[in-house]
């Protein structure tokens, strides 16, 4: 139910879930939560940075029609106006694109939302104590939950194009296409202040704009920015500004979940229309081993990776006993970026190598940066078929020893060439999984643009995915595409989320993975599980796999010759990978809930434990006994499990843990676990790293108590299997 009241100077939209309020005299709008507590407030009128300079808009008028409010600002010229429209629904708000009327032709460089005049300049005016920006920084140095009172001063990217955009170094999570805010009381350290903290609001795109999506953080405020650069490219966008959905939740995790759910309900996205065959689901959830860690450990430039080195990596992976089922060959197998062909000198028998790996029972994964092009002439193209700078020259980039441009995927000839290449690539190498890399490398409109500006900005990556991924999936509908992005608007192209690369997180691989999984776990509701990848040391591996198993599957890019600390894997580490792999669920659609999570401070966005829910049933628990600051967590979770050790317990059938007849447990310490179950007899099998196993039986009433050990005699335990009758 939505009620709109106009009692000037205030206009309010009230629902049971939020209140929106605008003051016609001050032009300030406020957003309140279900308890009427202020989430955010901001100056309302957007700022258009134009060429020639546009006079300021002022003197607002409003119009109410049904559940929609339009606020129009008038310029000095009576014919000039700018209209901002809001549509209100019971559980979300839609902020619509802007409507500009101008008698003069103007080119818009940027649209800045919620600016406050600061002399001849401006500063962001949306105030809320906290802003939540997934993917804000590739390292752990800057928390994605930003305390705005810290006065962090940066412009961050929320879409694609971080490599040549402003602000921090970013990669993972892009494009995200959303951010969140939540607030404290005015005296946030006062007695009982935590009880006065607000719910969270998530500001997420409902469609992809023809510009770069950014967020400016400065002076205890934020401003979303649409970077259009019409002044450089002489185009007129089809729509001005963003189409936002503003959704709400008890905390920012729940607000993002609501954003994903409402996009589905409003039929903006339809993830459940994706076809997941049994074969594709198997590849999607299969544990992976990736060659990149060894390539990094040996500091191999592109021209030094050879067929013999890849064979050696594969051999040592098999010797290790690690039971990954997908082997992924990462960067540097190609001859030149863009050709999608192996280097025949360095890999003289590449296709035979791939067939041999597959013949041994493995799925095959290949890395590719599909948008890069080193030599357009080799494809029958020219430099004009690359993205161009506004000086009319191709944009050339560099990575390690490679120099390349970026395909202009909006040009018909480029599309035809890439479709043919992509299909031939699939036919020739028959990969099961593609690690789609560097889509976030698309340059901002400040740097370069495509020929067809209808596909500029956030739309450019979609066009590239449509051309390349569309062609590959026509050839192989079961192909799994793995990518870094969190955006729900591209869910039709991606299948598996990857939280790597953790290269900037030395010493914090485990913490950063936990934080990235904290956000990516929500993608399970879109049918996109998370693959764990790993850091570059063995010490953090177990915690990374522990945090990943509730939201998807396991991964490793470790080097078996030694990591950055000179360490090699232990029997326990290999055993935990294998044990957890036995517990990986077989469903792509699920909900993951953080347990005992922290929402503020340096520990914000971290969860020591996890609950996985499928069809309303708790099917997996990953429980730690301590939080990241060393404080103990409650011993167990609800009535399902009580434990004094870190463990993962999962149903291995379609029932909840409490009702399952087939359960798996991976313990991480010696201790005791009690499960509340409806059966009376348990057949218990301990699986060992050696391949051996022992069996026993135990009768019980309501509660099954088990003594857990890491080693029995000389045998390292992988996992414990329980069959119940």
**603, 635 contact by CB (below 8 A):** no
Enter the DSSP assignment of 426. Answer: H
CB 174 within 8 A of CB 157: yes
Of 295, 361, 320, 278, nearest to 577 by C-alpha is 320
CB 662 within 8 A of CB 724: yes
Average pLDDT, the chain: 94
- The Cα 213–Cα 460 span in angstroms is 12
Q: What is the pLDDT of residue 194?
A: 81
Secondary structure class of 661 (helix, strand, coil): coil
Q: How many beta carbons lie within 10 A of that of residue 150, not counting itself?
A: 11
Q: Minimal CA–CA distance to 523: which of 188, 67, 177?
A: 177
SS3 content of the chain, % helix, strand, coil (to 5): 20, 35, 45
- Report how far residue 73's alpha carbon sits from residue 22's, in angstroms, rounded to the nearest whole number: 14
Which pLDDT score, from 0 to 100, does residue 164 have?
Answer: 63
What's the confidence (pLDDT) of residue 168?
Answer: 76
CA 398 to chain centroid: 25
Task: Name, in order, each residue with C-beta under 8 angstroms of 332's C-beta and a sequence gap of 6 or more.
Answer: 295, 300, 302, 305
108 vs 398: which has the higher pLDDT = 108
Q: Which helix (H) or strand (E) holds 258?
A: helix 252-265
pLDDT at 439: 77
In the block, tokens 């956030």 appear at 458
- pTM for the model stands at 0.96
Tell me the mean pLDDT in the region 487-508: 93
Q: How confident is the model at residue 465 (pLDDT cuts 50, 70, 90)?
A: very high
Q: What mean pLDDT do residues 686-708 have? A: 95
Confidence of residue 163 (pLDDT cuts 50, 70, 90): low
Please tell me the distance from the alpha carbon of residue 189 to that of residue 600, in angstroms, as a whole number.
13
Give the C-alpha separation, 225 to 212, whole Å. 8
- pLDDT, tens digit, 9 for 90 and up, residues 327-380: 999 998 999 999 999 999 999 999 999 999 999 999 999 999 999 999 999 999
In sequence order, which ranges of 442-550 are alpha helices (DSSP H)? 458-475, 509-520, 541-548
Instruction: Residue 147: name the closest of 519, 600, 514 by CA.
Output: 600
Assess whether pLDDT exceeds 80 at residue 648.
Answer: yes
What SS3 class is residue 578?
A: helix
Name the DSSP class of 438.
Answer: -
515: helix, strand or coil: helix
- The answer to whether 621 and 521 are in contact (CB under 8 A) is no
CA-to-CA dists, residue 333 to 231, 295, 306, angstroms:
41, 11, 8
Q: Which of 481, 402, 466, 479 is nearest to 436 (CA)?
A: 481
Given a cut of 80, is residue 381 above it in pLDDT? yes
- Average pLDDT of the residues in 399-404: 83
The answer to whether the CB of 364 falls within 8 A of the CB of 350 is no
- For residue 120 the two structure tokens come to 């001849």
Torsion of CA 289, 295, 297, 302, to 10 degrees: -170
Rounded to 5 degrees, what angle do the CA atoms 208, 211, 214 make?
A: 90
Q: Is the pLDDT of residue 185 over 90?
A: no
∠ CA(647), CA(652), CA(655), 5° rounding?
Answer: 105
CB 328, CB 367: distance < 8 Å: yes
The continuous run of DSSP H or E covering 582 comes out as helix 571-583
153 burial via Cβ count (<10 Å: 0-12, 13-18, 19+): exposed
Chain position carrying tokens 């402003």: 166
Res. 302: pLDDT tops 90: no
The whole-number pLDDT of residue 371 equals 94
Largest CA distance in the chain: 88
Span between the terminal Cα atoms of the chain, in Å: 50
Name the pLDDT band for 161 (thresholds 50, 70, 90).
confident
Q: How many whole angstroms separate alpha carbon 61 and alpha carbon 70? A: 8
The answer to whether 363 and 280 have CB atoms below 8 angstroms apart is no
Show the CA angle centred on residue 503, arms to residues 435 and 302, nearest 5°: 60
pLDDT tens per residue across span 540-551: 999 999 999 999
pLDDT in tens, 204-257: 999 999 999 999 999 899 999 999 999 999 999 999 999 999 999 999 999 999
Return d(Cα 402, Cα 540) in angstroms, integer. 32
3-state SS, residue 303 = helix
pLDDT of residue 432: 98
Provide the H-helix boundaries in 169-251.
Answer: 230-233
Residue 321 has pLDDT above 90, yes or no: yes
Beta-strand ranges (E) seen in 52-134 are 58-65, 68-74, 81-88, 92-95, 99-101, 107-112, 115-118, 121-124, 130-132
648 by Cβ neighbours in 10 Å (0-12 / 13-18 / 19+) ranks as buried
Record the tokens describing residue 455, joined without a space. Answer: 């596909």
pLDDT at 165: 67
pLDDT of residue 51: 85
Q: Residue 296: enclosing H or E segment and its boundaries? A: helix 292-297
> Contact 418/467 with Cβ under 8 angstroms?
yes
Checking if the pLDDT of 55 tops 80, the result is: no
Given a contact cutoff of 8 angstroms between Cβ atoms, the answer to whether 498 and 528 are in contact is no
Q: Indicate the DSSP class of residue 57.
A: P
The Cβ of residue 477 has, within 10 Å, a number of other Cβ atoms equal to: 11
Rounded to an integer, the average pLDDT of 652-665 is 97
**CB 397 within 8 Å of CB 403:** yes
């Amino acid at each position: 139910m939505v009620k709109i009241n106009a009692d000037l100077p205030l206009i309010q939209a009230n629902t049971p879930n939020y209140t929106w309020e605008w003051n016609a005299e001050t032009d300030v709008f406020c957003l309140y939560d279900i308890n009427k507590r202020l989430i955010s407030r901001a100056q309302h009128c957007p700022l258009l940075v134009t060429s020639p300079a546009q006079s300021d808009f002022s003197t607002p008028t409003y119009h109410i029609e049904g559940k929609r409010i339009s606020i129009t600002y008038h310029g000095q010229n009576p014919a000039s106006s700018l209209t901002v429209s809001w549509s209100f629904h019971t559980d979300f708000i839609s902020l619509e694109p802007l409507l500009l009327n101008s008698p003069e032709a103007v080119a818009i460089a940027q649209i800045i939302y919620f600016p406050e005049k600061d002399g001849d300049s401006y500063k962001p005016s949306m105030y809320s104590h906290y802003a939540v920006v997934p993917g804000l920084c590739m390292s752990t140095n800057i928390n994605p939950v930003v305390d705005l009172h810290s006065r962090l001063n940066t412009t961050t990217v929320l879409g694609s194009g971080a490599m040549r955009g402003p602000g921090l170094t970013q990669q993972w999570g892009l494009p995200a296409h959303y951010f969140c805010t939540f607030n404290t009381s005015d005296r946030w350290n006062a007695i009982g202040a935590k009880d006065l903290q607000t719910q969270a609001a998530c500001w997420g795109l409902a469609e992809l704009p023809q510009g770069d999506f950014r967020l400016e953080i400065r002076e205890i405020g934020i401003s979303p920015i649409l970077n259009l650069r019409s002044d450089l490219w002489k185009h007129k966008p089809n729509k001005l500004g963003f189409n936002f959905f503003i959704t709400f939740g008890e905390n920012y995790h729940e607000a993002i979940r609501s954003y994903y759910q409402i996009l589905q309900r409003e039929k903006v996205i339809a993830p459940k229309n994706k076809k997941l065959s049994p074969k594709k689901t198997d590849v999607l959830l299969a544990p992976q081993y990736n060659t990149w860690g060894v390539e990094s450990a040996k500091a191999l430039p592109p021209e030094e990776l050879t067929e013999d080195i890849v064979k050696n990596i594969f051999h040592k992976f098999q010797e290790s006993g690690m039971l990954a089922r997908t082997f992924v060959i990462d960067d540097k197998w190609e001859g030149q970026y863009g050709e999608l062909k192996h280097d025949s000198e360095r890999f003289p028998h590449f296709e035979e190598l791939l067939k041999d790996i597959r013949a041994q029972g493995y799925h095959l994964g290949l890395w590719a940066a599909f948008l890069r092009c080193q030599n357009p002439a080799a494809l029958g193209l020219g430099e004009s078929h690359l993205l161009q700078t506004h000086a009319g020259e191709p944009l050339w980039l560099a990575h390690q020893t490679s120099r390349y441009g970026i395909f202009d995927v909006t040009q018909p000839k480029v599309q035809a060439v890439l479709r043919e290449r992509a299909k031939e690539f699939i036919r020739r190498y028959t990969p099961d999984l593609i690690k789609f890399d560097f889509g976030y490398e698309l340059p901002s409109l400040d740097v370069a643009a495509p020929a067809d500006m209808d596909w500029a900005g956030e739309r450019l990556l979609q066009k590239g995915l449509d051309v390349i991924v569309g062609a590959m999936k026509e050839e192989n509908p079961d192909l799994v595409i793995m990518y870094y992005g969190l955006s729900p608007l591209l869910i039709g192209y991606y299948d598996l989320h990857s939280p790597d690369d953790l290269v900037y997180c030395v010493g914090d691989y485990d913490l950063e993975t936990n934080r990235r999984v904290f956000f990516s776990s929500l993608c399970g509701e879109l049918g996109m599980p998370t693959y764990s990848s790993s850091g570059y040391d063995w010490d953090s591996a177990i915690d990374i796999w522990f945090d990943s198993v509730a939201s998807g599957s396991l991964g490793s890019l470790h080097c078996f010759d030694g990591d950055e600390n000179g360490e090699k894997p232990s029997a326990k580490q290999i055993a935990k990978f294998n044990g957890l792999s036995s517990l990986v669920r077989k469903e792509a659609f699920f909900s993951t809930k953080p347990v005992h999570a922290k929402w503020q401070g340096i520990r914000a966005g971290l969860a020591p434990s996890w609950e996985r829910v499928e069809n309303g049933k708790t099917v997996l628990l990953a429980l730690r006994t301590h939080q990241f600051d060393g404080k103990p967590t409650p011993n167990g979770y609800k009535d399902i499990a009580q434990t004094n050790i870190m463990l993962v317990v999962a149903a291995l059938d379609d029932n909840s843990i409490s009702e399952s007849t087939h359960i798996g447990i991976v313990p991480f310490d010696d201790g005791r676990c009690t499960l509340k179950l409806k059966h009376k007899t348990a057949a218990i099998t301990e699986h060992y790293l050696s391949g051996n196993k022992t069996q026993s039986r135990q009768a019980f009433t309501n509660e099954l108590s088990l003594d857990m050990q890491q080693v029995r005699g000389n045998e390292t335990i992988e996992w414990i299997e329980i069959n119940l009758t």
